[in-house]
Structure 1
């Protein structure tokens, strides 16, 4: 039997444009937009554990820009400081947003009215006494204490939660103040956030159009509290989720708290709480009273500085590696993060 000829009645969809491989990713994005092409964005895998390629329409960003610009009071006279690499989708998003409204953007802070920052970057600027700007903070949860501290120092702060696959999900002023973004529907199923919106990438969805990156969250009306990825620790045969423990401890801390699983020969892993704050004693006292069994951290550490990925997020894998390296050489100060020797078992 002679095979049927291929159907050529519909033109083939052009291949997505890998904008991050271009010399000017922002110009490449707008070229794809003019040509009606999708874009392919490669991620580093620093948060998910594995690099991946995300394909999306340019409209899934561009159609949200008016709402973003209005919230940020972004205009042609504005100048956006983006200190992080454009390989991070939140930074490319900010640069494309700036060009959309006719504003300039720069990797240098001089003369800038706005800044795209992670919480760690904002903290460093506030501690250094940098002049206040209008900060758009993303990439990690922004604790209310840092927001208040930044505002007291003259900053205006907006914060959003999103993911490379989902784009914008919720917007507010800190992690406790997030409301669903325009045209976003959300559900929490077995503790995990599912999202439906026009801003999704070409990502698998269920039969109702919902997608998930498996972040743990709580949802009341349009108010979203994102607890993070459901990383687990298996300790003495019990499996516990780390994200809810971190969120509970963060509520009682004045600075950033990170909860990680650290390998341990006898128990397999132990839950470890790491903070930069000087209120470790109060945090530990609260944990001993309110966290029971395997959910109670067995180790409590203070680090002068938490390690960051190249995009400004907390480097959890690097932090665990550094803890283990310090364990092997207990008399050598940590090279990656610093350590002030306050460490004990629960």
Structure 2
């Protein structure tokens, strides 16, 4: 039935993609899940999708990539993606000779966008055989589109001596540390960072390390720290009766609740989601502000900051740091000393935890709910 969303799950990625393209060719709306999901969980998602009315005029559906809660189904027209193709092609110098490497799973809107885009250009698509980057993939890929986590995995292999053909990487995420850019350049890879959201698509781009600025065709405005966007790239919304952070006003402006600002010279410096702030004593702490500072410390590859419940303060600022395989963190006293040179007292973590690798969502984002739960339940190591 035209407009009917069709859930697809297959541990063979090529088979899943082939099915999705066939569904689309027949007028349906393909929705690929993550083959790592629990069977009962997937059955529940399928039931929710089956109960929803068809989505006339829609071409593609993806799950939200947020790090909390049950994923919502986001539906969109074909034009909401294709309108951005010229801008992406200019950034990447993309041609039919390229091989686009997509290390994020097909459940990610990042991957499905690039699959559809590459087909229109005539470029080849390279999907990993497993859920990890492989040396053999890097022998063929010329373009990478993925997350900072995926790029870090690629760079680790290149720095270990793996030969590669990558010339450019398009990396999503509002937070990209300068170290990744310098490492990419040392490997001969031009790095283009961007910020987007599954609901908004491309919003801002940083092709040279000088900061994010609006992507082609995008207007931005900031109201009391809240970023509003207007562009032709918006998704239509959520399937069925699901609600989420995406909202629009009558003038065509939309937001997903991102907070920006704090520096007049860098107005699109992201400070996290409005609903993610930590209220501790008399202060309001944006986790991303603290995370950006802590990522500058030696020995910390990534970090998640959250509010640890506390009866007196309401919440304590806490951090779970990722050290990488075989790494161990400094003492809590040393971490406080180093962080104290970068953060005010209200923003300094009062509790520290660590792990070699943070658990992540299917799209490579830190799984914030699980990380916070593990810290509260004591199943992640405490730094003393």
CA contact (8 A) 1:249 1:283 kept: no
Change (3 A) 1:81 1:162: same
1:224 to 2:268 alignment: yes
Structure 1 residue 291 displacement after superposition: 4.1
**Superposed CA RMSD:** 3.3
Q: Distance between the aligned counterparts of 1:20 and 1:68, measured in 2?
A: 28
Q: Which residue of 2 aligns with 1:305?
A: 357
For 1:142 and 1:30, the matched residues in 2 are separated by 37
Residue of 320, 336, 343 corresponding to 2:372:
320
Tell me, in whole angstroms, the C-alpha distance in 1 between the residues paired with 2:193 and 2:96.
Answer: 22
Bigger relative contact order, structure 1 or 2 (CA pairs below 8 A, ≥6 apart): 2
Compute the displacement of 1:226 (Å): 1.8
TM-score norm. by structure 2 comes to: 0.71
Question: Which residue of 72, 81, 90 corresponds with 2:92?
Answer: 72
Give the deviation of 1:324 after TM superposition.
3.1
Quick check: 1:143–1:176 contact (8 Å CA) kept in 2?
A: no
Aligned counterparts, 1:281-296, within 5 A: 284-285=336-337, 287-288=339-340, 291-292=343-344, 294-296=346-348
3-state secondary structure, aligned to 2:278: strand
How many Å apart are 1:222 and its aligned residue?
8.9
Written as runs of structure 1 = structure 2, the 5 A alignment for 1:163-312 is 163-173=197-207, 177-203=211-237, 204-218=247-261, 224-230=268-274, 231-236=276-281, 239-250=284-295, 255-264=301-310, 267-276=313-322, 284-285=336-337, 287-288=339-340, 291-292=343-344, 294-312=346-364
Q: Is there any run of 5+ residues in structure 1 with no aligned partner, and where? A: 1-13, 329-333
- 2:83 aligns to what? 63
Return the index of the structure with the highest Cα Rg: 1
Equivalent residue pairs, number: 318
1:139 to partner: Cα distance? 4.4
How far has the Cα of 1:39 moved from its partner?
Answer: 2.8
In terms of mean alpha carbon deviation, does 20-29 or 304-313 score higher?
20-29
Could you tell me whether the CA contact under 8 Å between 2:60 and 2:78 is conserved in 1? no
Q: Deviations over 1:158-187 (max 9, x none)?
A: 221111110010112478621100110101
CA apart distance, 1:244: 3.0
Take 1:181 and 1:222, find their aligned partners in 2: how far apart are those partners? Answer: 15
Return the TM-score normalized by structure 1.
0.78
Quick one: structure 1 residues 19 and 114, their matched pair in 2 at CA, closer, same or farther if it must change by over 3 Å? farther
Paired with 2:314 and 2:348, the residues of 1 have a C-alpha distance of: 15
